[in-house]
Amino acid sequence: MQMLVLGIETSCDETAVALYDSVQGLLADRLYSQIAMHAEYGGVVPELAARDHIRKLVPLIRELLEESGHSLKDIDGIAYTRGPGLAGALLVGASMGQALALGLAVPVVGVHHMEGHLLAPMLEESRPQFPFLALLVSGGHTLLADVTGPGEYNILGESLDDAVGEAFDKIAKLLGLAYPGGPSVAKEAEQGQVGRFKFPRPMTDRPGLDFSFSGLKTFTLTTARAHEDDDQQLTEQTRADIARAFQDAATDTLLIKSRRAIELTGYDQLVVAGGVGANQLLRHKLNEMAEQENISVYFPRPEFCTDNGAMIAYAGCLRLLAGESEGMAVAVRPRWKISELKKPGEAKGRK
Ligand code: KG4
Ligand code: ZN
């Protein structure tokens, strides 16, 4: 069966939409980033995020349809992000998704944002085959999962405290770099000297696949404080050296645990997804490891590592094709564990 799905993503600070066709693949995607608005506050302001999604969603859907040469009546199903994310922001996408589904008399599903991230590599030409190992690294999650099929996510390890993206964001803040922290720390690190500071690789000296990034954050803070002058300023070089040491430590930690998970599971495919997956140093290190270990590593293109509508349209399409469709209640899940998901179709008729 051929199905044209509209995907809507509004879980955080990007308003994003996409049209995915089950036969032709991704037809079009549009994104509006609220970053400039939130940057003034040094982080996402939930109320402003929700209001901005309201402002942008309809114009973006219009542009999307125009770009793809389709009209609303061509849409066979709707997928929106149900969670996890900011409640008010999620409600905007959920309400729009439900309203469109009602108006067009088509089925609608609420997608798990992290399932969207995890399946984003499927939008690329070179795609993994189930089963595989997944490293999910975003602003809210850091986890390794054994993925035996869509909806089957067995968590092998996860962060006990901060997510790695969150750590990048906090380090950026303490170094006085712009929000969002990942790209600014990475940029700053380019000027840093390798090896001036050596930061810990947390939890790598004991067995297991869990992560912890709050100690690394404190170590970074303590190092920065120790090098401030009387006006509590760092020299430009020291700031770059600290950014470099942090990025080296964070990416090494992800590398060490991914290698360990590959050894434990015996899988020969590693899928990397989520915002931190856009980090060039991490991509380089994991590609190098893949060569050494004779495995394949799959990343989404960098713009599909961070939030986007295409991944929601894709994940939703799998579920809609399997017959999933929900009732008319607008129910979002700001907190929602990916391990609670079921195979597409198993949640048929769920409200
Ligand atoms: O997946 P995402 O867009 O949203 C969530 O679902 O959380 O991930 C956002 C996170 C932020 O913490 C951001 O700082 C981080 O991904 N990030 C990066 C890079 N680009 C985004 N971290 C490191 N290097 C990057 N290039
Ligand atoms: Zn995300």
| Coil, helix or strand at residue 331 | coil
Q: Which residue has a Cα nearest atom 13 of ligand 1?
A: 182
Task: Find out whether the beta carbon of 139 lies less than 6 Å from any atom of ligand 1.
Answer: yes
Task: Find out whether the beta carbon of 279 lies less than 6 Å from any atom of ligand 1.
Answer: yes
- Rounded mean pLDDT, 231-243: 97
Structural contact between residues 142 and 173, judged by C-beta atoms closer than 8 angstroms: no
- Rounded mean pLDDT, 206-235: 96
Query: Mind listing the pLDDT tens digit for each residue in 99-143?
Result: 999 999 999 999 999 999 999 999 999 999 999 999 999 999 999
Task: Find out whether the beta carbon of 277 lies less than 6 Å from any atom of ligand 1.
Answer: no
Q: Name 109's bridge partners.
A: 79
pLDDT at 349: 52
- What is the atom index within ligand 1 of the atom nearest the CA of 180? 14
Domain ranges of the chain: 4-119+305-340, 126-299
pLDDT at 351: 43
Pick the CATH number of 126-299 from 3.40.50.300, 3.30.56.10, 3.30.420.40, 3.40.190.10: 3.30.420.40
Chain-wide mean pLDDT for the chain?
A: 97
Residue 203, pLDDT > 60, answer yes
Q: Give me the CATH topology for the region 4-119+305-340.
A: Nucleotidyltransferase; domain 5 (3.30.420)
- Rounded mean pLDDT, 268-283: 98
Query: Which is it for strands 269-273 and 132-137: parallel, antiparallel or unpaired?
Result: parallel
CA of 104 from ligand 1 middle (Å) equals 35
CA of 275 from ligand 1 middle (Å) equals 3
pLDDT band at 328 (very low <50, low <70, confident <90, very high): confident
Q: Which residue has a Cα nearest atom 3 of ligand 1?
A: 306
Surrounding ion ligand 2 within 5 Å at CB are 138, 307
Quote the radius of gyration of the chain (alpha carbons, Å): 20
Query: Mind listing the pLDDT tens digit for each residue in 60-92?
Result: 999 999 999 999 999 999 999 999 999 999 999
Closest alpha carbon to 246 in 279, 284, 292, 278: 279
- What is the atom index within ligand 1 of the atom nearest the CA of 138? 8
| HEC readout, 155-174 | EEEEECCCCHHHHHHHHHHH
Task: Find out whether the beta carbon of 7 lies less than 6 Å from any atom of ligand 1.
Answer: no
Q: Which residue has a Cα nearest atom 7 of ligand 1?
A: 139
Task: Find out whether the beta carbon of 186 lies less than 6 Å from any atom of ligand 1.
Answer: yes
pLDDT band at 318 (very low <50, low <70, confident <90, very high): very high
Task: Find out whether the beta carbon of 84 lies less than 6 Å from any atom of ligand 1.
Answer: no
pLDDT at 348: 59
- What is the atom index within ligand 1 of the atom nearest the CA of 14? 3
Query: Mind listing the pLDDT tens digit for each residue in 11-56?
Result: 999 999 999 999 999 999 999 999 999 999 999 999 999 999 999 9
